[in-house]
Amino acid sequence: MSLVRRAVAEDAEEVLRLRQVMIASVNPDASTDWQAGALPGLRTRLADPDGGFAAFVVDHPERPGAPAALAALVVGTLEYRIGGPDRPGGLLGYVFSVATDPGARRRGYARACMAELLEWFRERGAGHVMLTASPDAEPLYASMGFTRDTTPSMRLYL
């Protein structure tokens, strides 16, 4: 049984906490004031299992309870753009939030969450997946098949 599950509306506050972990990794002084405004929209999207937004998470093994504390998070959207040579159907996946709780790192949680998100994209017909990689995260993405574009984004053809 997989440790990874699809996030639900009740996970919204923890999703925002881990997103802040990611943001703070590049901007340690970043404010958290944005979270109250982001919470309602995030809850709505997490509650819609058929929408083009998905978050996959791992519950924190050392902090069980309800609501669950999260150890890792991967979030992505399925987007439509007019088709082209590399994606005639026009669908592409975009990964925009990958974070692991500092106390739960180096356990493979982000990789497991990413694998679930990639499968979600495949099942919906995405032609490829894009993301912007930090230098620390690039080896993970490269090991999963992502390649460097001419921009800072990377993509994996599915």
133 occurs within a structural domain: no
Distance CA 43, CA 55 (A): 11
User: Is residue 117 a part of any domain in this protein?
Assistant: yes
Looking at residue 83, what is its pLDDT?
A: 86
How many independent structural domains does the chain possess? 1
Query: Could you report the per-residue pLDDT of 104-129, keeping only the tens digit for each?
Result: 999 999 999 999 999 999 999 998 89
> Model pTM?
0.89
Is 39 exposed, middle or buried (CB count within 10 Å of its CB: 0-12, 13-18, 19+)? middle
> Identity (one letter) of the amino acid at 98?
V
Q: Using only C-alpha atoms, what is the Rg of the chain? A: 15
Residues 54 and 49: their CA atoms lie apart, in Å, by 8
The answer to the question of residue 144 being in a domain is no
Could you tell me if 116 and 144 are in contact, meaning their C-beta atoms sit under 8 angstroms apart? no
**Three-state secondary-structure class, residue 92:** strand
Does residue 21 sit within a domain?
yes
Task: Give the domain range for residue 34.
Answer: 4-82+95-125
